[in-house]
Chains A and B, each alone.
Chain A
């Protein structure tokens, strides 16, 4: 059985556009609302990344931090996150879901138990921000054994030699960090430069689906259209924060943002 993540990329390719990936934090602003957001955007999005909020995130900018702290404050626990995924999958069972988080949460839960729960609830991929290659080799192969994609990250600082080795060990999807930044930073390099780095990755192995993330907003998304996939996270988290501030409905506001993003890459 192939992973729905592969299908999502195939489908986007057949429509001659990049796959759209969104990142929202599980439990932001509440457990119920984060599920509603996932349900509402799911028809516009190809792959859903769901953040597992952590309270000492070393790679997240202020927008995602705000979302994460809000979710933790509102009581979200790992088991709630599995339940959110499970409930979502009842609603749309073919939509791929990727969990993204920090290793300590997995470590405390127990790697095997965590993966067992991922499997039961329908998680298709994992991104672990602070478990880089080669430290992640063992865990990545555990994921593979359970047909869960372990998504390797690449950054502009990744050396050529390292790049090749990571790509060789990667599963079908790779996440390229567009620039030196925490999540949600302003795009401080040109899209041309980002795409030239992207091409270097594709040249090593064109079969891998490479998505670009960090700094992608309604303003910048169009310029990176040629990638296999594009991830928007902080822009969505910001929308939730702003909606709460303005006492508006985050669900409809986030839907509108995602809808506009989708239109820009069609």
Chain B
């Protein structure tokens, strides 16, 4: 299995949508074959269309608020005493997280295809919140599927979705989290694909959704590359990019522009959710060696039992609480372009404490996982190493959990 240079990773899949011959694909019911093919044709055309790209960039700039900040975490760097720690504050984006990029592009595509309704899944509630914002902006009706457990633990985002006029549909099946929300959303699309567009909230699902999402979030690394050159004159010789990985949309977008660099120069580190220290459950299929299976239309490493039933996950962060992982990350793992590890709930909370103690930055529990590993590893790096952590979401949505686990003063 080999990563090709000068070809975007999203376009390195084969005709049937498999990366490296085995990740991704389209394991979908017959009913969805046509709508997926239609979407593929539309996306392949538009991603080469200058007018469309201009339109996208216009919304990214004027509405999403691009570029998001790239800042040095001076105090944290001093405290850790190793590499320079920087952050790409993607949570500056309109709505407070990277999910806005994918949501915006999906709404633009839905408009072009003449659909009036868009449906989507959400875990932490950010994908849903952003889709509801974008749908409102572009005059589309919006339906969001969300696990009942996630609805309980991510209330601020649920309120935001409703305020934007979206219908939030609770999903009570299975573990009542993201995995079930995605299933239910796909089922809804199966039954309504003639009139409704679907937005998959991450770089997961049938191949075209993986590609659209990766294409959209790559805005993050486009900005970062410019910012690095502005700051250092060129892309640093020792650059390490840390990002949490749930479905994998923010990390893929954070890395994409640096794909062709040698990994000795630009290293990618993906941090999965290891779950509570005392629990055997986790949401880290790459770190803990899960087997390849099919989930939500795509072949990927996924937590499952020997019979092929998908296993329940456990994580403090709803946004990482997913048993599978993007086919793109499976591909990056097996080609050894990226390195994957996990942080536990407790480690993420400690990192959150540390970051908020030293900096004016409030990363949500998802990027706190990435901060945990970045801080631990930075200690042993030289001072000319540039560590960048994608702070891809804001902790506002987590205030309930943080108050419960760390006390009021951290909210």
Contacts and interface: CB of A to CB of B under 8 A. Distances in A.
Interface of A: 54-61, 65, 69, 72, 77-78, 102-109, 129-135, 153-159, 162, 177, 180-182, 185
Contact of B297 (A55, A57, A130, A133): A130
Interface in B300-357: 304, 306-310
Contacts of A131: 27
A177 B32 CA distance: 12
B281 to A, nearest CB: 15
Contact of B174 (A56, A60, A104): A56
A61 B194 CA distance: 18
Shortest Cβ-Cβ A-B pairs, 7 listed: A108-B308, A157-B34, A155-B31, A104-B294, A105-B308, A59-B29, A153-B30
A180 B194 contact: yes
A157 B191 contact: no
B347 to A, nearest CB: 29
18 contacts: A54-B308, A55-B310, A59-B190, A69-B173, A69-B174, A72-B309, A104-B293, A106-B308, A107-B293, A131-B27, A132-B26, A132-B28, A133-B30, A135-B25, A180-B31, A182-B187, A182-B190, A185-B191
Nearest to B38: A157
Given A132-B26, A155-B30, A157-B35, A107 B190 contact: no
B186 interface: yes
A58 B204 CA distance: 14
A156 B31 CA distance: 7
A103 B34 contact: no
A58 B294 contact: no
B186 A58 contact: yes
A77 B307 contact: yes
Residue of A102, A104, A133 contacting most chain B CB atoms (<10 Å) = A104
Nearest to A152: B30
B401 interface: no
Given A182-B191, A185-B191, A108 B16 contact: no
Nearest to A76: B307
Given A54-B308, A104-B295, A158 B190 contact: no
A180 B308 contact: no
Contacts of B29: 58-59, 129-130, 132, 153, 155, 177
A78 B193 CA distance: 32
Residue of A58, A59, A69, A72 contacting most chain B CB atoms (<10 Å) = A58
Contacts of A135: 16, 25-27
B183 interface: yes
Contacts of B380: none
Contacts of B30: 132-133, 153-155, 157-158, 177
B265 interface: no
Contacts of B191: 180-182, 185
A58 B307 contact: no
Nearest to B310: A56
B79 interface: no
A156 B193 CA distance: 11
Contact of B33 (A72, A108, A132): A132
Contacts of A134: 16
Nearest to A109: B308
Interface in B146-193: 173-174, 179-180, 183, 186-187, 190-193
Contact of B173 (A65, A154, A162, A181): A65
A185 B293 CA distance: 28
Contact of A103 (B27, B183, B187, B307): B27
A58 B190 contact: yes
A170 to B, nearest CB: 12
Interface SS, A side: loop
Given A108-B291, A158-B33, A182-B190, A55 B174 contact: yes
B199 to A, nearest CB: 16
A99 B28 CA distance: 18
B56 interface: no
A77 to B, nearest CB: 5
A72 B308 CA distance: 12
A57 B186 CA distance: 10
Contacts of A58: 28-29, 183, 186-187, 190, 296-297
B109 to A, nearest CB: 18
Contacts of A54: 308-309
B294 A159 contact: no
B193 A180 contact: yes
Contacts of B186: 58
Contacts of B296: 56, 58
A182 to B, nearest CB: 5
A38 B38 CA distance: 41
A65 B16 CA distance: 29
A180 B304 contact: no
Contacts of B294: 102-104, 107, 130
Contacts of B297: 58, 130
A216 B187 CA distance: 18
B286 to A, nearest CB: 18
B174 A59 contact: no
A169 B119 CA distance: 34
A103 to B, nearest CB: 5
Given A105-B307, A108-B307, A182-B191, 9 more contacts: A56-B183, A58-B28, A58-B186, A104-B308, A108-B293, A130-B29, A155-B33, A162-B34, A181-B191
Contacts of B173: 65, 69
Contacts of A157: 30-35, 193-194
A256 to B, nearest CB: 29
Interface string B202-230: 00000000000000000000000000000
Contacts of A182: 187, 190-191
Interface string B61-100: 0000000000000000000000000000000000000000
A130 B36 CA distance: 14
A154 B16 CA distance: 19
A180 B16 CA distance: 24
B309 A55 contact: yes
Interface string B114-137: 000000000000000000000000
